[in-house]
Amino acid sequence: MASTEELDKITNNTADLNINDSKSAETAAKTPNDIPATNEVSKTNTESPKDVSNSSDAAKTGGSVKTLPKAFRENFKLFSKFGDTKSDGKSLTLSQSDKWMKQAKVIDGKKINTTDTGIYFKKFKSLKIGLSDYHKFIESLAKAKGVSEDDLIQKMAECGAPVSNSNAASAGQIQNTVSRLTDPSRYTGSSKLRFDETGKGKGLAGRKDVVESAGYVQGYQNKNSYDKTH
């Protein structure tokens, strides 16, 4: 038979084995805690395509919309609605673009004219183009004509809202035009004969040739100067 000391050793060894088994079980139970880290990695991988898609969208637009000045974007909406009450302000036509560029002094008839704008605008093969494509249009136009793209955008941003031709002329310009057209000293031909040296109209004599029956040829200067005693 085993002694009491041997029985105590066997009991202690068994307790130690039970403790080790419980620790192993706890370690095995704790291993799932590593799963959240894996989930975070997978979450990061899942979210990355969103960033990729956003970057691809930015690549498609060239990031142009975000870099344009606020005043330029506001004028784009205003000119896209000019002459078109049904426009939503998101795209504009070639004629609206030319109107904008003329008002901004971009189209000057020398460095850039409407033929140039027509060539590069029609490369988009659309009657209307949006803000992103319009920025590309300005880029290609500026590059082809050897001018600064920033200068064009700055001029178009500072030109203000659309102004109709009827409102473009000031009161002073109208007065100058009226004065020029009503100045008798500038008249020529038959119109010149209707006014005297002071600018006063001659009335019927200025509009109609009066035939005299005095017996003198037309233009004779010595009328009634003949001496009646002879």
- The candidate with the shortest Cα–Cα distance to 97, out of 130, 144, 60, is 130
Q: pLDDT tens per residue, the chain (230 residues)?
A: 445 665 565 655 555 555 555 555 555 555 444 444 444 444 444 444 444 434 444 444 444 455 899 999 999 999 999 999 899 999 999 999 999 999 999 999 899 999 999 999 999 999 999 999 999 999 999 999 999 999 999 999 999 999 876 555 566 677 788 888 878 777 887 777 777 777 787 777 777 776 767 777 777 777 777 765 55
Residue 183 CA to residue 213 CA, distance in Å, equals 35
- Domains of the chain (ranges, CATH numbers): 65-158 (1.10.238.10), 183-208 (no CATH)
How crowded is residue 63: how many other Cβ atoms within 10 Å of its Cβ?
Answer: 13
Q: What is the pTM of this model?
A: 0.47
Enter the tokens of residue 154. Answer: 């700055």
Is the C-alpha dihedral spanning 156, 161, 164, 167 positive or negative?
negative
Distances in Å between the Cα of 37 and the Cα atoms of 26, 30, 42, 45, 185 are 19, 13, 9, 12, 96
Q: Are 72 and 155 in contact (CB under 8 A)?
A: no
